[in-house]
Amino acid sequence: MVTKLIFDCDPGVDDAVALFMAFAAPQDLEILAITTVGGNVAADLTARNAAIIRQIAGREDVPIHAGAKVPLIRPPLDAGDFHGESGLGALPLFAPTKGVEEGHAANVIVDLVMRHGPGEVTLAVTGPCTNLALAMRLEPDIIERLGLIVVMGGARREGGNVTASAEYNIWADPHAAEVVFSSGARCVVMGLDVTHQVRSDPARIAAIAAIDTPAAQASANLLAFSSALERDIVGGAGAPIHDPCVIAYILAPELFTLRPCQLKVETSSRLTVGHTAVEFGLQDPAAARIFWATHADADGVFALLNELLAR
């Protein structure tokens, strides 16, 4: 069955690799729209970066709609340290031949979800949740109508990657994340507990670099950039490929283990804002709407990534 997908992202090095994966799977994913949000870098750059990746992938048939420039409440804060000034690391840039389409991302999400049948549209979110939260506020009926939402965000066992307890996407717009996770929509959450298990070590990058397609060559460049930064700033073996876990889950859910949970986002504490409080002790696990990823088959994710990049 083909999954109808809206891919909301803030490219971003690892968002870009996730985009290549999604673009390479037209027989499994019908991408209704790419929507972009200010996050890793400013909103005009994330939209442009999505258009660059689309062109490298040869998928100009997929529309891109730019969205929120700033978070709902907190001031914007970027992650240029980890994604380079452009947001795409050291990838050679060019002006994309095709730009973004008219229409704000939040309106496009509302229109597409309402135009399709109940449960028909899946949402991948690999940046701050601002666009989706805006869409849920614009038209609350989308909440019931949406299919699965797969979000990269949050941390439990691993602790945070921006502050002691907060992961970047949630920290960048905690209020938007709280709107999404408290909405009652069905969400699968790929937090750092699982994305830290999926790392692009030198052997894995070399395997991608050996694939002779534009998407693989660009991905090897992007992953080499983030792995070098990870080594210099954090130490340790290879950068986690956070956002590709979202697309890997949508294409091959058997690669991940999930646990039903309740998830609340800290929005007001000075020290722990953006913390995801993930509670597994549920009275009625069968009624859970949120599923927290606890384990990934990293070799399986890379095998899938390599297979897609070779297409």
The single residue of 65, 175, 242, 275 carrying the catalytic annotation is 242
* x/- track of binding to ligand BDR for residues 243-282 (CB under 6 A): x---------------------------------------
Q: Which is nearer to ligand BDR, 167 or 178 (CB)?
A: 167
Binding of Ca ion at residue 87 (CB under 5 A)? Answer: no
Q: Which is nearer to Ca ion, 52 or 288 (CB)?
A: 52
Specify whether 242 is catalytic: yes
Taking a C-beta distance cutoff of 8 angstroms, is the pair 191, 158 a contact?
yes
| CA atoms of 174 and 148, how far apart (whole Å) | 20
Among 122, 126, 200, 267, binds ligand BDR (CB under 6 A): 126
Interface with ligand BDR in residues 231-250 (CB under 6 A): 242-243
The closest of 20, 48, 12 to 225, measured between CA atoms, is 12
Q: Enter the tokens of residue 190.
A: 């790929």
Q: Enter the tokens of residue 107.
A: 């309106």
Q: Which is nearer to ligand BDR, 8 or 288 (CB)?
A: 8
Among 5, 7, 8, 12, binds Ca ion (CB under 5 A): 12
Q: Which residue has the tokens 């609350």?
A: 140
Q: Quick one: what does residue 168 bind among Ca ion, ligand BDR, none, with the CB cut-off 5 to 8 Å set by partner type? A: ligand BDR
Among 7, 20, 23, 82, binds ligand BDR (CB under 6 A): 82
Minimum distance of Ca ion from residue 280's CB (angstroms)? 26
* x/- track of binding to Ca ion for residues 126-155 (CB under 5 A): xx----------------------------
Minimum distance of Ca ion from residue 242's CB (angstroms)? 7
Binding of ligand BDR at residue 152 (CB under 6 A)? Answer: yes
Q: Which is nearer to ligand BDR, 15 or 230 (CB)?
A: 15
Stretch that binds ligand BDR, among 11-19, 139-147, 211-219, 264-272 (CB under 6 A): 11-19
Beta bridge partners of 275: 166
Q: Which is nearer to ligand BDR, 161 or 288 (CB)?
A: 161
**Residues 47-51: contacts with CB within 8 Å, 24+ apart?**
47/100, 48/96, 49/11, 49/12, 49/15, 49/16, 49/86, 49/87, 49/88, 50/9, 50/11, 50/19, 50/100, 51/96, 51/98, 51/99, 51/100
Q: Give the CB-side neighbour count of residue 127, counting CA atoms within 13 A.
A: 40
Interface with ligand BDR in residues 38-67 (CB under 6 A): 40
Share of the chain residues as helix, strand and coil, in percent rounded to the nearest 5: 40, 20, 40
233: left (phi over 0), alpha (psi -120 to 50) or beta: alpha
Q: Is residue 112 classed as helix, strand or coil in its secondary structure?
A: helix
Q: Which is nearer to ligand BDR, 147 or 274 (CB)?
A: 274
Q: How far apart are the first and last CA of the chain?
A: 20
Peptide bond into 12 cis (omega under 30): yes
- Interface with ligand BDR by CB under 6 A: which residues? 12, 14-15, 40, 79, 82, 126, 152, 161, 167-169, 242-243
Instruction: Supply the residues annotated as catalytic.
Output: 242
Q: Which residues bind Ca ion (CB under 5 A)?
A: 10, 12, 15, 126-127, 243
